[in-house]
Structure 1
Amino acid sequence: MTTTRPVALVTGASSGIGEAASLALAAAGFEVVGTSRDTANVTPRPGVTFVDLDVASDTSVASAVQQVIDRFGRIDVLVNNAGIGSAGAAEETSVAQAQSVFDINVFGVIRMTNAVLPHMRARGGGRVINISSIVGFVPQPYMAVYAASKHAVEGYSESVDHEVREHGVRVLLVEPAWTSTAFEANSVQTDRPLQVYARQRHIFEEYMAGAVRDGDDPAVVARQIVAAATDSKPKLRYAAGARTGRVHTMRRIVPSRMFDQQLRKLNRLPA
């Protein structure tokens, strides 16, 4: 089976940003393939075909991408949305736990990108849209491993974009701020908690719960994903929500010392 409609492959599409992006891309005219680690438990979505995928597995990635190509004959857009959160002081996180976060958030992006690039280059076009975060370009205390993974995605994406642009392929970033999803509940908690950080960690958990509760609707992020997928002259970065745009501007124009002080105040850290 082949299709004349553009095909979008969205990882982590069973809920949250991935679900909203899948529905928005379908409404924009795409054939959409969403992925989940266990599609047997996914509620069907109109206009979205689901396939099983574990982005931490080379074999699973290769199989899922080949399934899409075999069924539709093309992949025009890859949305690397699958990810996992991580909370706790950096010292409280073991190297093994940090590696597990990177295996999904960073190496999952790399696996998926490597799997689709040969096909996109052969077709002479395509877009890889990587879901970053506001903490992909600013620090976030008590989320050091997660922030590091999103900083890595930013550096990887911008570098690869330069490599593949001459082949008609773009690698783009969508940067959400805090979004009203199950992010907090699905975050990995520190595997070796230390009493010295307990009080500040609790303060951070309260801050994060409020930020997610009052965060942007996933549809806000989905609109930017559709823009990245369809703009005739795409931007490297798409700020999803007013907060991301403001923080980008502040990071650029506010003196470093003042930005640092404001960050500590926001996170209720000692001066």
Structure 2
Amino acid sequence: MTTTQPVALVTGASSGIGRAAALALVEAGFEVVGTGRKTSQVTPLDGVTFLDLDVTSDASVTALVQQVTDRFGRIDVLVNNAGIGSTGAAEESSLAQDRRVFDINVFGLIRMTKAVLPHMRAQGRGRIINTSSIYGFIPQPYMAVYVASKHAVEGYSESLDHEVREHGVRILLVEPGATNTAFEGNIVQPDRPLPVYAEQRHIADRLVAEAVRGGDAPAVVAKAIVAAATDPTPKLRYTAGPLAGRLSVLRRIAPARTFDKQIRKFNKLAG
């Protein structure tokens, strides 16, 4: 089977940003495949085909991409949205926990990218849109591993974009700020908490919860994803929401010492 409609594949589409992006891409004229670990439990969306996927499994990724190309004959856009959060002082998490975050946020994204790139190169066109974060370009204490994973996504994406652009493929970044989703419920808590960090960890957790509750609607991020998927001349980076836009500008123009002080002030850190 083939389709004349452009096909978008969205990972982590069962809820939050991924679900909003899948719906927005349908409205923009795409045939959409949304993935999740257990899509049989997902409420259906008109125009979205849900398929199971584990981005940490080479076999699952390979089978999913083959299933999509067999069914639709093409993949025009990949939205790498599946991800997981982590909080706590960097010293408090085991290396196994840190690997889990990177295996989903970084290597899961890389697995998906490697799987779809041959199809996009053969088509002579395609866009891979990677959901990053404001934490892809700023620090955040007590979220060091999550922040490191998003910094890795930024560096991988920008470098890869130079490699594949001549083949008609673009690698683009969407950078949301705090978004009102179930992110809190998908955060890895440290498995070896230390009393010395307890008070500041609780402050950091409260700040994250407040930011999520007051954050942008997932539709705001979905709008940026659709723009990245459809702009005739796409930008490398799309900030999503006013906070992300302001922070992106401040990171570029504010003196390093001033920015450092603001990070510490916001996070109620001494010194």
TM > 0.5: yes
State how far apart, in whole Å, the 2-side matches of 1:152 and 1:93 are: 19
3-state DSSP of counterpart to 1:70: helix
Between 172-181 and 252-261, report the one with greater CA deviation.
Answer: 252-261
Residue of structure 1 in register with 2:33 after alignment = 33
State how far apart, in whole Å, the 1-side matches of 2:11 and 2:119 are: 17
Between 243-252 and 17-26, report the one with greater CA deviation.
Answer: 243-252
Residue 224 (structure 2) pairs with residue 224 (structure 1): yes
Residue 49 (structure 2) pairs with residue 49 (structure 1): yes
3-state DSSP of counterpart to 2:191: coil
Residue 180 (structure 2) pairs with residue 180 (structure 1): yes
Seq. identity, %: 73
Matched AA of 1:262: Q
Residue of structure 2 in register with 1:90 after alignment = 90
Residue of structure 2 in register with 1:65 after alignment = 65
Residue of structure 2 in register with 1:164 after alignment = 164
Could you tell me how far 1:190 is from its partner in structure 2? Answer: 0.5
Could you tell me how far 1:252 is from its partner in structure 2? Answer: 1.1
Between 247-256 and 140-149, report the one with greater CA deviation.
Answer: 247-256
State how far apart, in whole Å, the 1-side matches of 2:144 and 2:102 are: 12
Could you tell me how far 1:167 is from its partner in structure 2? Answer: 0.1
Residue of structure 2 in register with 1:242 after alignment = 242
Residue of structure 1 in register with 2:130 after alignment = 130
Matched AA of 2:13: A
Deviation by residue 1:130-185 (Cα, 9 ceiling, x = unmatched): 00000000000000000000000000000000000000000000000010001011
Give the aligned CA root-mean-square deviation in angstroms: 0.5
Residue 86 (structure 2) pairs with residue 78 (structure 1): no
Residue 102 (structure 2) pairs with residue 107 (structure 1): no
State how far apart, in whole Å, the 2-side matches of 1:10 and 1:251 are: 29
State how far apart, in whole Å, the 1-side matches of 2:186 and 2:95 are: 20
Residue of structure 1 in register with 2:207 after alignment = 207
State how far apart, in whole Å, the 1-side matches of 2:154 and 2:253 are: 20
Could you tell me how far 1:197 is from its partner in structure 2? Answer: 0.1
State how far apart, in whole Å, the 2-side matches of 1:127 and 1:186 are: 27
State how far apart, in whole Å, the 2-side matches of 1:125 and 1:246 are: 32
3-state DSSP of counterpart to 2:184: coil
3-state DSSP of counterpart to 2:187: coil
Residue of structure 1 in register with 2:143 after alignment = 143
State how far apart, in whole Å, the 2-side matches of 1:31 and 1:123 are: 17
| Uncovered stretches (5+) of structure 2, i.e. residues with no partner | none
Matched AA of 1:11: T
State how far apart, in whole Å, the 2-side matches of 1:263 and 1:232 are: 36
| Uncovered stretches (5+) of structure 1, i.e. residues with no partner | none
Could you tell me how far 1:199 is from its partner in structure 2? Answer: 0.1
Scaled by the length of structure 2, what TM-score is found? 0.99
State how far apart, in whole Å, the 1-side matches of 2:226 and 2:83 are: 19
3-state DSSP of counterpart to 1:149: helix
State how far apart, in whole Å, the 2-side matches of 1:108 and 1:247 are: 27
State how far apart, in whole Å, the 1-side matches of 2:215 and 2:142 are: 19
Following TM superposition, the consecutive aligned residue runs of length 4 or more in structure 1 with deviations greater than 6 angstroms are none
State how far apart, in whole Å, the 2-side matches of 1:229 and 1:205 are: 34
Deviation by residue 1:31-68 (Cα, 9 ceiling, x = unmatched): 00000101111111111001110000000000000110
Scaled by the length of structure 1, what TM-score is found? 0.99
Matched AA of 1:119: H
Deviation by residue 1:3-23 (Cα, 9 ceiling, x = unmatched): 000000000000000000000
Residue of structure 1 in register with 2:117 after alignment = 117
State how far apart, in whole Å, the 2-side matches of 1:222 and 1:247 are: 19
3-state DSSP of counterpart to 1:99: helix
